[in-house]
């Protein structure tokens, strides 16, 4: 989408990869709270977050933000910064 900014994107991804932990989605578990997410394709993200005991999901996805999920808490980037 931004062909003139690939170097900046590569730098960002490199720095980000040093700060985050990538985890898998458990295949054999399903939580009832997943049903609060309208888009079924987003549910594995919530499942992984619950399974790996994350505190916050930072997202711009309204399915998460409007679902009323409290554990883990779904927050926009702007809310998280405050």
Per-residue pLDDT tens over the stretch 15-31: 888 888 889 999 899 99
Segment holding 58, helix H or strand E: strand 56-58
**Helix (H/G/I), strand (E/B), else coil: 62:** helix
Please report the pLDDT score of residue 65 as a whole number.
95
- The answer to whether the CB of 37 falls within 8 A of the CB of 67 is yes
Please list the residues that pair with 58 across neighbouring strands: 75
Average pLDDT value for residue range 54-60:
93
Query: What is the percent of the chain where pLDDT is above 70?
Result: 99
Q: Establish how many alpha carbons lie within 13 A of residue 29's alpha carbon, considering only the half-sphere containing its beta carbon.
A: 14
Task: Read off the tokens for 30.
Answer: 């399903």
């Amino acid at each position: 989408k931004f062909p003139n900014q690939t170097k900046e994107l590569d730098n960002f991804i490199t720095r980000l990869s040093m700060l985050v932990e990538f985890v898998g989605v458990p295949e054999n578990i399903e939580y009832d709270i997943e049903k609060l997410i309208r888009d079924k394709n987003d549910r594995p993200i919530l499942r992984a977050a619950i399974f790996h005991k994350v505190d916050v999901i930072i997202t711009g996805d309204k399915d998460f933000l409007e679902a009323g999920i409290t554990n883990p808490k779904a927050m926009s980037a702007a809310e998280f910064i405050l």
